[in-house]
């Protein structure tokens, strides 16, 4: 699956308001860019994935993964302060989602 296919997946998912699918596709695209060493494009993908506000379990998972991937990119870029903040957001996102899940039962 190349970049045009992923772009099409994101576009189609947006058309039907399937935000968690957009988040997933953007996450894959971000990982590909990261592996290619194109950190600027990888960051853009993960940040766009984080811009979706849906609160499904899958969205929480994708949001947590996006924070983690961004943290690793910023370590590679030498920005340890930003990386640490992103890992904290990753931890908080996962913890708060579990607390909300159990408070509803």
- Count of C-beta atoms within a 10 Å radius of residue 76: 13
Structure confidence at residue 3 (pLDDT): 62
Is the whole model's pTM more than 0.85, yes or no? no
| Lowest mean pLDDT, pick from 27-31, 44-48, 64-68, 98-102 | 98-102
Where does 3-103 sit in CATH, by number? Answer: 1.25.40.10
Predicted confidence band of residue 102 (pLDDT cuts 50, 70, 90)? very low
Are the CB atoms for 82 and 98 separated by under 8 Å?
no
At residue 100, does pLDDT exceed 70?
A: no
Taking CA atoms, 96 is separated from 24, 60, 81, in Å, by 21, 10, 22
Confidence at residue 38, expressed as pLDDT on a 0 to 100 scale: 95
């Amino acid at each position: 699956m190349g970049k045009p296919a992923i772009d099409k997946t994101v576009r189609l998912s947006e058309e039907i308001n399937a935000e968690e699918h957009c988040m997933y596709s953007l996450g894959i695209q971000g990982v590909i860019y990261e592996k290619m060493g194109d950190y600027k494009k990888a960051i853009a993908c993960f940040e766009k994935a984080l811009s979706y506000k849906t609160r499904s379990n899958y969205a929480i998972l994708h949001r947590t993964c996006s924070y983690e991937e961004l943290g690793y990119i910023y370590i590679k870029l030498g920005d340890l302060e930003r990386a640490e903040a992103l890992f904290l957001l990753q931890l908080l996102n996962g913890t708060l989602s579990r607390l909300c899940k159990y408070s509803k039962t």
